[in-house]
């Protein structure tokens, strides 16, 4: 008989709080050892777009390890212990990089970029292998009825932490660059050391979180390939994996190169780069409560339909940053991106958890990560290759120029739009249509800033609803809410 660890509601609440603390300190390490700062360090030690593409692909190649982890968890359990060991190796491996680079000045060490690649491989292999255990753990710990709101709150706190650390780290690096540009790389190394310290604190909170893992006996001779086939016999899950694969490929074809573009082409300082990144995070923080409530009420699929459309247009809008007012344009794009990407990321995870059954959940999550990760790993490599080949290429339309990385942004936007229709084939339990969600928002006046503009917003809601219904090819008569209202009116007329 299946049994679970006896954990009281107060212990679960304490565990949820510790998960927030764990996430906050882990977020500091993630911010400082990835994204803008990882790209900046790679460029500082002589890397180019190809190296940036390699570094960006490593996390997704590493997702293949999740299949092995899922098999071990299904056979032996102990997902908490497994996660703690893997995360420890992942975070402390950065100390090896610091030791190696301090033996010789990184700026004059031609092997520095490959040392960075090597340590990134070890760190991401261990971290990714543990991710499936963490997702399975959290799916059991967080009650489904509050999952959207809880992760929205958690993500909001993590985003706020990211804002503070990004601004501070950007300013810190500018001070190193101003005082002595040749010593700038040591500014990065001290940031990496601080990141490892925060990663260690995160682990201390992670150990305090209770695990509701099943204690039922597990067969010791599960066949690996038979287990892998389980999720791929679920057609709905396969459709979600197919959509995520196509979407992630199109996104990561360009994602690593926005920082390169701002640092090299636009010659922005780290402080300014951090500042525009903070604009994105602030927009995300403000939008997350709304996305969390909408997710709990309408489901994840209608939100994904809306946010993927907005995110598809975003890289195309970046072509406008070639003008002399590029800073203002970037600020607007960061606001736009922060609002819609927060909803997209939140509901992507929520939908994956909904479609992964409790039994064999770790296999579902690992298979999803492996399939999407392999395709996504190819994207930044291809993007880096294309960036080098398209360097010095330029198209001019009157006063509008498309050059260098603009071509990567344009291709990425087009591929995102082409991948969106795959989402329609995914079925979410008790799903609502996007049109119904928008109509409800219009009636409830959920967005308070529209007060005073109600006549105008009524037309906006009406037009948006008609466009959505046309795109989804679902007439108003098929909307369950409107259909039930119509039947109610007919019944009243009969009476």
The confidence score (pLDDT) of residue 214 equals 58
Domain that holds residue 200: 10-213+223-432
How sure is the predictor about 476, in pLDDT bands with cuts at 50, 70 and 90?
very low
Q: pLDDT per residue over 358-412, tens digit each?
A: 777 777 877 888 888 888 889 998 998 888 888 878 887 776 778 888 899 999 9
Q: How far apart are CA 128 and CA 489, in angstroms?
A: 55
Q: Give the HSE-up count for residue 204: Cα atoms under 13 Å, Cβ half-sphere.
A: 7
- Is residue 2, in this structure, part of any structural domain at all? no
Task: Using the predicted structure, report yes or no on whether residue 453 has a pLDDT greater than 80.
Answer: no
Length in residues, the chain: 495
How sure is the predictor about 31, in pLDDT bands with cuts at 50, 70 and 90?
very high
My answer on whether 348 and 439 are in the same domain is no
Q: How far apart are CA 368 and CA 376, in angstroms?
A: 12
My answer on whether 455 and 385 are in the same domain is no
The confidence score (pLDDT) of residue 61 equals 82
My answer on whether 316 and 464 are in the same domain is no
- Is residue 494, in this structure, part of any structural domain at all? no
Task: Using the predicted structure, report yes or no on whether residue 278 has a pLDDT greater than 80.
Answer: yes
Q: How many domains does the chain have?
A: 2
Lowest mean pLDDT among 47-51, 129-133, 311-315: 129-133
DSSP characters over 107-164? GG-TTHHHHHHHHHHHHHHHHHHHHHHHHHHHHHHS-GGGHHHHHHHHHHHHHHHHHH
Q: How far apart are CA 260 and CA 253, in angstroms?
A: 13
CA distances, 296 to each of 62, 95, 289 (Å): 32, 42, 11
> Which of 386, 405, 432 is the last residue in one of the domains?
432
Q: How far apart are CA 200 and CA 92, in angstroms?
A: 8
CATH number at residue 360: 1.20.1250.20
My answer on whether 321 and 368 are in the same domain is yes
My answer on whether 418 and 472 are in the same domain is no
CA distances, 172 to each of 113, 169, 190, 433 (Å): 22, 5, 10, 47
Q: 17: which 2 tokens?
A: 């709080």
Contact 173, 194 (CB under 8 A): no
My answer on whether 268 and 140 are in the same domain is yes
Averaged pLDDT score across all residues of the chain: 80
The confidence score (pLDDT) of residue 490 equals 46
Task: Using the predicted structure, report yes or no on whether residue 157 has a pLDDT greater than 50.
Answer: yes
- Is residue 495, in this structure, part of any structural domain at all? no
Task: Using the predicted structure, report yes or no on whether residue 448 has a pLDDT greater than 70.
Answer: no
My answer on whether 451 and 367 are in the same domain is no
Task: Using the predicted structure, report yes or no on whether residue 251 has a pLDDT greater than 90.
Answer: yes
Instruction: Give 153 or 493, the one with higher predicted confidence.
Output: 153
- Is residue 57, in this structure, part of any structural domain at all? yes
492 CB-near residues (< 8 Å, 6+ apart)? none
Q: pLDDT per residue over 113-154, tens digit each?
A: 888 889 999 998 888 878 878 877 888 888 877 887 888 889
The confidence score (pLDDT) of residue 376 equals 85
Lowest mean pLDDT among 118-127, 285-294, 433-442, 470-479: 470-479
- Is residue 454, in this structure, part of any structural domain at all? yes
Instruction: Give 182 or 245, the one with higher predicted confidence.
Output: 245
- Is residue 74, in this structure, part of any structural domain at all? yes
> Which of 432, 456, 477 is the last residue in one of the domains?
432
My answer on whether 307 and 446 are in the same domain is no
Which DSSP state fits 495? -
- Is residue 4, in this structure, part of any structural domain at all? no
My answer on whether 428 and 443 are in the same domain is no
Task: Using the predicted structure, report yes or no on whether residue 460 has a pLDDT greater than 50.
Answer: no
Q: How far apart are CA 162 and CA 10, in angstroms?
A: 29
> Which of 393, 408, 432 is the last residue in one of the domains?
432
- Is residue 373, in this structure, part of any structural domain at all? yes
My answer on whether 453 and 411 are in the same domain is no
The confidence score (pLDDT) of residue 202 equals 95
Q: How far apart are CA 47 and CA 177, in angstroms?
A: 18
Task: Using the predicted structure, report yes or no on whether residue 247 has a pLDDT greater than 90.
Answer: yes
71 CB-near residues (< 8 Å, 6+ apart)? 222, 224, 227, 363
Of the chain, the percentage scoring pLDDT greater than 70 comes to 82
My answer on whether 46 and 155 are in the same domain is yes
My answer on whether 248 and 131 are in the same domain is yes
Q: How far apart are CA 358 and CA 355, in angstroms?
A: 9
Contact 356, 449 (CB under 8 A): no
Q: pLDDT per residue over 172-192, tens digit each?
A: 988 887 877 667 888 888 999
Task: Using the predicted structure, report yes or no on whether residue 494 has a pLDDT greater than 90.
Answer: no
The whole model's pTM is what?
0.69
Q: pLDDT per residue over 198-224, tens digit each?
A: 999 999 999 998 887 655 545 555 566
């Amino acid at each position: 008989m299946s049994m679970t660890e006896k954990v009281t509601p107060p212990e679960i609440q304490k565990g949820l709080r510790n998960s927030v603390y764990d996430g906050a300190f882990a977020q500091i390490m993630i911010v400082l050892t990835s994204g803008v700062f990882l790209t900046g360090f790679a460029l500082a030690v002589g890397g180019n777009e190809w190296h940036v593409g390699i570094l960006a692909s490593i996390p997704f190649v590493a997702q293949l390890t999740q299949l092995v982890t899922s098999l071990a968890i299904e056979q032996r359990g102990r997902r908490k212990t497994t996660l703690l060991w893997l995360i420890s190796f992942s975070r402390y491996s950065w100390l090896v990089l610091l030791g190696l680079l301090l033996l010789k000045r990184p700026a004059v060490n031609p092997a520095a970029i490959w040392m960075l690649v090597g340590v990134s491989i070890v760190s991401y292999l261990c971290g990714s292998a543990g991710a499936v255990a963490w997702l399975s753990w959290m799916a059991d710990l967080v009650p489904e009825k509050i999952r959207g709101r809880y992760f929205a709150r958690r993500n909001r706190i993590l985003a706020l932490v990211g804002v503070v650390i990004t601004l501070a780290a950007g300013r810190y690096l500018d001070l190193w660059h101003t005082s002595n540009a040749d010593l700038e790389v040591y500014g990065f190394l001290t940031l990496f050391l601080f990141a490892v310290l925060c990663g260690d604190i995160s682990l201390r909170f992670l150990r305090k979180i209770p695990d509701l893992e099943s204690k039922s006996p597990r067969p010791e001779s599960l066949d690996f390939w038979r287990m892998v086939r389980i999720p791929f016999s679920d057609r709905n899950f396969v459709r979600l994996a197919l959509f995520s694969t196509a979407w992630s490929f199109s996104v990561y074809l360009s994602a690593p190169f926005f920082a390169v573009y701002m640092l090299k082409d636009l010659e922005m300082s780290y402080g300014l780069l951090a500042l525009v990144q903070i604009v994105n995070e602030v927009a995300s923080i403000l939008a997350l409560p709304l996305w969390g409530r909408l997710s709990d009420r309408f489901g994840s699929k209608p939100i994904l339909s809306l946010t993927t459309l907005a995110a598809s247009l975003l890289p195309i809008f970046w072509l406008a940053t070639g003008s002399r007012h590029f800073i203002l344009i970037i600020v607007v794009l960061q606001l736009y991106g922060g609002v819609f990407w927060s909803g997209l990321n939140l509901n992507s995870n929520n939908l994956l958890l909904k479609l992964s059954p409790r039994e064999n959940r770790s296999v579902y999550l690992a298979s999803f990560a492996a399939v999407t990760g392999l395709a996504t790993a190819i994207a930044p490599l291809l993007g880096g290759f294309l960036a080098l080949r398209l360097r010095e290429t330029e198209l001019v339309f009157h006063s509008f120029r498309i050059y260098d990385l603009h071509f990567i942004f344009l291709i990425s936007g087009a591929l995102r739009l082409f991948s969106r229709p795959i989402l329609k084939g995914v079925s979410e339990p008790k799903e609502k249509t996007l049109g119904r969600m928008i109509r409800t928002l219009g009636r409830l006046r959920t967005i308070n800033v529209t007060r005073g503009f109600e006549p105008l917003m009524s037309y906006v809601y009406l037009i948006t609803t008609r466009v959505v219904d046309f795109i989804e090819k679902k007439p108003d008569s098929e909307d369950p809410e409107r259909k039930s209202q119509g039947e109610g009116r007919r019944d009243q007329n009969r009476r």
